[in-house]
Amino acid sequence: MKFFVDTADVKEIRELNDIGLLDGVTTNPSLILKSGRDIFEVTKEICAIVSGPVSAEVTAMDYDGMMREAAVLAKIADNICIKLPLTFDGLKACKALTSAGHKTNVTLCFSAVQALLAAKAGATFISPFIGRLDDTGLDGMELIGEIRQIYDNYGFATEILAASIRTINHVKQAALIGADVATVPPATLKALVKHPLTDKGLEQFTADWAKTGQKIG
C-alpha cells in the first residue's frame, strides 16, 4: 500500500518524506485554508519536496471552468495530479485531462457506482471517503471492498485512494481489503508506529542495559 499524507503543512510533509514514508500528497481547499498560505506558493513547495503525485483541487463547478483551472494547476510542477469532483462535469474533465496525459484524482466518492463511472472516465485515482460514510452510520470499509471487487472484475487501472481516514484501524482495514493508497493525516500516519507493548519492551531493555554498566561506542 502506498501512503499519501493529507495536508498542506510543509513542515509535516518534509518530516515524513525524509523518513521515507511518503508516496504522495493530497490537498484540498480546506487544507489550503488551514495552511494560511497562497495555493500556488505552497503547492509548488510541496511538489519540490515529494517526487510522487501531489493532488491539487479545482474549485470550479462547470467543465470549462475546471479545464481552465486545471491548466493553471498543471503548470505548477510535473507531479501535479488534478483533483476533480465526482459530478458529470468532473467526469468529463477527468476524461479530457487523462487523455491529455495528466494524472487525475476524482474525489468525494460515496458509492461503488460512482467509482465505476470514475474508472470509465479514466481516473488515475478514485477517493472514497471512509470517515464521512462512518459518520452517517454506514460502513466506509464496505465501500472500499465493493470498489475493489468491481475494479478487479473488469481490470480497471484506476487506483483506490482511501480518504477521510480517521483511525489506525481505517488504515489497517483498507490495506487488508486491498486499497492501493491511503491518504492519511500526519498525526494518524505517525501513530501507526505506536504500540504499548513496543513501549513496554523498550523500557525493559533500557532498564536492563543500564544495569550492565556498559556503553556502545
DSSP string for residues in 132-193: HHHHTTS-HHHHHHHHHHHHHHHT---EEEEBS--SHHHHHHHHHHT-SEEEE-HHHHHHTT
| Predicted pLDDT of residue 183 | 98
Taking the model in full, what pTM does it have?
A: 0.94
Distance (Å, whole) CA 215 – CA 164: 46
Give the type of residue at 78: D
Give the residue among 16, 2, 29, 28 at the shortest CA–CA distance from 186: 16
| Predicted pLDDT of residue 48 | 98
| Predicted pLDDT of residue 214 | 96
| Predicted pLDDT of residue 142 | 97
| Predicted pLDDT of residue 27 | 96
Q: Alpha helices of the chain — where are they, by DSSP H? A: 10-19, 29-35, 39-49, 63-74, 88-99, 112-120, 130-135, 140-154, 168-177, 186-191, 196-212
Q: pLDDT 10s digit of each residue in the chain, 217 long?
A: 999 999 999 999 999 999 999 999 999 999 999 999 999 999 999 999 999 999 999 999 999 999 999 999 999 999 999 999 999 999 999 999 999 999 999 999 999 999 999 999 999 999 999 999 999 999 999 999 999 999 999 999 999 999 999 999 999 999 999 999 999 999 999 999 999 999 999 999 999 999 999 999 8
Give bridge partners of residue 106 from the DSSP assignment.
84, 126
| Predicted pLDDT of residue 11 | 97
Tell me which residues are annotated as active site. 83
| Predicted pLDDT of residue 143 | 97
| Predicted pLDDT of residue 60 | 97
